[in-house]
Amino acid sequence: MPAPPSEEARLARLVRAHDRWRGRSVFNLLASENAVSPTARQYLGSDLAGRYTLPMHETIDGELVDNSYAGTRYTDEIESLANAAATRVFRARYATTRPLSGHIAAMSALVPLLPARARILAIPPTEGGYDGYAAGFLPSVLGYTVRPLPADGPGHSVRADSAVATIRQERPNAVVLGQSFFLFPYPLREIAEAAHAVDALVFYDASHVLGLVAGGAFQDPLREGADVVYGSTHKSFPGPQGGLLFTDREDLFRQLDPALVWRVFDNAHWNRIAALGQTLLELERTGREYAATVVENAQGIARALHDLGVPLVAESEGFTRSHQVHLDRTHLKATFGVGGAGLCRRLERQRLLIDLVGRIGTAEVARLGLTPADMPRLADLLVRGGLRREKVGPEVLAWRKQFPALRFA
Ligand SMILES: Cc1ncc(COP(=O)(O)O)c(C=O)c1O
């Protein structure tokens, strides 16, 4: 039965209200989100949103065909254009923009390349690792055994000596480097050398730092020894929700790319791939300045918060080299009587969005046009709104209105 029109009107109101609220009325400091450029948004809403395409070279009823669908004369070229842009932006020999998300990109890399019952090393969630690599999640779905790779340096950074010792002792099939709490580059050369010496592959989950890798502001995983790099395209990378994957190794890509369809997903989402292609092309022009601004903003807001007495992790290391800054929640609670969840809710009422686990991300505010010079004011609003419980919402809204358009788009 069709939904009554009143429900449609309600839905339309909700979407409009969401767009007003998240798109125009708050400063978003969620480390896992970003704002999509106007052209990319237009492509998300294009006719591509409902289409299939499946390039193939097979004989059907005696005729050689190059696609199992009809009407695909533009989709295949859109995909090759997006993939080619990805290879240029990440200086990779091979790339695919098909993975539907960061999590699916992880499956896309692991499923075709690892044996059944593989043994992997991954950073535990208690040390900033991605929950998906914990025993009950991807490893149990894929039948792998996961052992901890320690991230026991400041701010859950990975120390070369303990990582190398663990790899030598465990002799895994793969080392999966991936953190949701991600402040500092991995000692990748040392890890890759140790992993390759025991015939293990190195997978680099760049979900959080993909935009910084694209702009050369973090680390260069392929040049430093990673075999396959993948991640989400909507955290520090300012694209549509989705994933991508790249590698320099022809042997791995030949194994991997044809194995994705029907094992990890069927159709890819071509509107998303067009929007991702657009974002990659925009970053080819502006990515270096964008990524540098994001990291400088993170270091700037960390210093400003620290100067205002807010406890942060990894002070000895300069707080961060990524788009994230981490509140020291234990000291926060002891000093100010509020934890991550309480602070998040208080700030949300004042139009400032951070997450419940104490991460502050500077990617989206850089897209809005905020620079390091703006970080002391932003830190001051966070402290007044979150810790002193002042009503800073109107001031935040007035300031937010000064940034109506996206930069780097
Ligand atoms: C390190 C890491 N990998 C993968 C993912 C999953 O990404 P997605 O939400 O795009 O599937 C996340 C999500 O936060 C993450 O932090």
Mean pLDDT of 203-217: 98
Ligand 1 centroid to Cα of residue 232, in Å, is 6
**Separation of 108 CA from ligand 1 center, angstroms?**
13
CA atoms within 13 A on the CB side of 184: 20
Residue 168, pLDDT above cutoff 90: yes
Q: Tell whether the model's pLDDT for residue 258 goes beyond 90.
A: no
Distance 5 CA to ligand 1 centre (A): 37
What pLDDT, on the 0 to 100 scale, is given for residue 275?
Answer: 98
Question: Global pTM?
Answer: 0.97
Residue 2 has pLDDT above 80, yes or no: no
| Å from CA of 321 to ligand 1 middle | 19
The pLDDT, as a whole number, for residue 354 is: 98
* Site to substitute for ligand 1 among 204, 207, 212, 276, most atoms within 8 A of C-beta: 207
Q: Identify the pLDDT of residue 113.
A: 98
DSSP 172-201: -SEEEE-BSS--S---HHHHHHHHHHTT-E
By most ligand atoms within 8 Å of CB, the mutation choice from 32, 33, 149, 180 for ligand 1 is 180
67-105 residue pLDDT tens:
889 999 999 999 999 999 999 999 999 999 999 999 999
- Which atom belonging to ligand 1 lies closest to the Cα atom of 106? 4
pLDDT band at 204 (very low <50, low <70, confident <90, very high): very high
Q: Whose CA is nearest to atom 9 of ligand 1?
A: 102
* C-alpha 33 to ligand 1 mean position (Å): 11
Rounded mean pLDDT, 360-367:
98
Inter-CA distances, 120 with 35, 144, 210, 289, 305, Å: 34, 7, 22, 36, 38
Residue with the smallest CA separation from ligand 1 atom 10 is 102
| CA of 232, closest atom in ligand 1 | 10
Mean pLDDT, the chain, whole residue set: 97
Residues near ligand 1 with C-beta < 6 Å?
32, 101-103, 130, 132, 178-180, 205, 207-208, 232, 243
Relative to the CA of 104, which ligand 1 atom is closest?
A: 11
User: Which pLDDT band holds residue 3 (cuts at 50, 70, 90)?
Assistant: low
**Per-residue pLDDT, 66:** 87
112-156 pLDDT, tens digit each: 999 999 999 999 999 999 999 999 999 999 999 999 999 999 999
Give residue 359 CA to ligand 1 midpoint distance, Å: 15
Mutate which of 32, 33, 34, 130 for ligand 1? The one with the most ligand atoms within 8 Å of its CB, which is 130
The arithmetic mean of pLDDT across residues 57-76, rounded, is 91
**What is the CA(373)–ligand 1 centre distance, in A?**
30
Answer yes or no: are the C-beta atoms of 173 and 120 closer than 8 Å: yes
* For range 168-178, the mean pLDDT: 98
In whole angstroms, give the CA distance from residue 227 to residue 211: 19
Q: Are 338 and 178 in contact (CB under 8 A)?
A: no
Nearest CA owner, ligand 1 atom 8: 102
Nearest CA to ligand 1 atom 16: 180
Asked whether residue 5 carries a pLDDT value surpassing 90, the answer given is: no
Percent residues over pLDDT 70 in the chain: 99
Centre of ligand 1 from the C-alpha of residue 139, in Å:
15
| Tens-place pLDDT, residues 38-54 | 999 999 999 999 999 98
pLDDT band at 253 (very low <50, low <70, confident <90, very high): very high
Q: Measure Cα distances from 355 to 30, 213, 339, 340, 377 in Å.
A: 6, 23, 11, 8, 20
Domains of the chain: 41-280 (3.40.640.10)
pLDDT for residue 348 is more than 90:
yes
pLDDT 10s digits, 284-305: 999 999 999 999 999 999 999 9
Q: 1: pLDDT confidence band, cut at 50, 70 and 90?
A: low
Of all protein residues, the one whose alpha carbon is nearest to atom 14 of ligand 1 is: 180
Above pLDDT 90, what percent of the chain? 96
Q: In what helix (H) or strand (E) does residue 20 lie, and over which residues does it extend?
A: helix 5-24
Q: How far is the CA of 207 from the centre of ligand 1 (A)?
A: 6
Residue 347 CA, ligand 1 centroid: distance in Å:
24
